[in-house]
């Protein structure tokens, strides 16, 4: 028999702002709800650290995550070039080359999305530019949730190499493009092999994947992440 966690059992509805964020996101409402649940989970489990998103576009995902944080001292770090997707490598596959320069968001739309979520501008940091440059700036001291929506092998690998060590034990790492882009998936497997880690990978939607750092089983997590 499947048992619900107390947190999930008490979560019978989602904030109406989730629906309002759809125009600011390239994923469906169900994915935004799942991101909300994953963010709610790190709050429920009192995982310390800020929230980081690598690949923001127009801010729908970041805002959905922010909705779950409530009144919190966590900063939200948002990294994006706002110049579209960068060049690919052979690992990303031939089809990926047709998307170079696509998915261009704007900081202004990100701010609009965060305003819908009720997040004050002083509570988030937009780091505009290519990852190789913005990741050289001061980073958060610790991270509770790392959302990587970076598509290509090099971008995903750089994001993992830069932020993984900063993720608190029990923190959540989300890969948006795990099943959509070959490069993202290859970066995950190569990163795990090089670090000699064996993440307990969870799936949702048709492409997203995530894991909880240090988690070796889900016995007490039954039902925790399901959408009611």
Question: If you write DSSP's letter for every residue of 110-144 in order, what string do you get?
Answer: HHHHHHHTT--GGGEEEEES-HHHHTTS---S-EE
Torsion of CA 209, 134, 130, 49, to 10 degrees: 10
pLDDT of res. 228:
65
- Kindly indicate the confidence band of residue 194, based on its pLDDT and cuts at 50, 70 and 90: very high
- Cβ partners under 8 Å of residue 165, min gap 6: none
Confidence check: pLDDT of 157 > 70: yes
Residue 11 pLDDT exceeds 90: no
Q: What is the token pair recorded at 173?
A: 């790492």
Tokens 């709800």 belong to: 33
Per-residue confidence (pLDDT) for residue 202, from 0 to 100: 94
Give me the sign of the Cα torsion angle 105, 18, 200, 208: negative
Q: Decide: 32 and 64 in contact? Cβ < 8 Å.
A: yes
Per-residue buried b or exposed e for 101-138, using 16+ beta carbons within 10 Å of the residue's own CB: eeeebeeebbbbbbebbebeeeebbbbbeebeebbeee
CATH number of 21-221, picked from 1.20.120.160, 3.40.50.10420, 3.40.50.150, 3.40.50.970:
3.40.50.150
pLDDT of residue 8: 45
CA distance from start to end of the chain: 17
Tokens of 135: 């990741």
pLDDT of residue 222: 67
């Amino acid at each position: 028999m499947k048992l619900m966690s107390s947190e999930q059992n008490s979560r019978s509805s989602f904030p109406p702002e989730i629906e309002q964020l759809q125009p600011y996101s390239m994923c469906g409402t169900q994915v935004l709800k799942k991101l909300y649940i994953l963010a709610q989970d790190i709050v429920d489990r009192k995982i310390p650290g800020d929230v980081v998103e690598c690949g923001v576009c127009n801010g729908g995902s970041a805002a959905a995550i922010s909705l779950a944080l409530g009144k919190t001292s966590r900063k939200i770090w948002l990294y994006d070039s706002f110049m579209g997707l960068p060049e690919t490598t052979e690992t990303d596959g031939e089809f990926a080359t047709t998307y170079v320069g696509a998915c261009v968001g704007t900081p202004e739309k990100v701010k609009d999305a965060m305003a819908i979520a009720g997040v004050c501008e002083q509570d988030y940091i937009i780091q505009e530019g290519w990852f190789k440059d913005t990741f050289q700036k001061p980073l958060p001291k610790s991270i509770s949730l790392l959302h990587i929506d970076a598509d290509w092998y090099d971008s995903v690998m750089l994001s993992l190499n830069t932020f993984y060590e900063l993720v608190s034990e029990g923190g959540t790492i989300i890969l948006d493009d795990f099943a959509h882009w070959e490069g993202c998936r290859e970066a995950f497997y190569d990163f795990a092999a090089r670090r000699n880690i064996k993440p307990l990978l969870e799936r949702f939607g048709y492409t997203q994947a995530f894991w909880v750092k240090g988690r070796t089983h889900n016995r007490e997590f039954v039902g925790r992440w399901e959408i009611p």
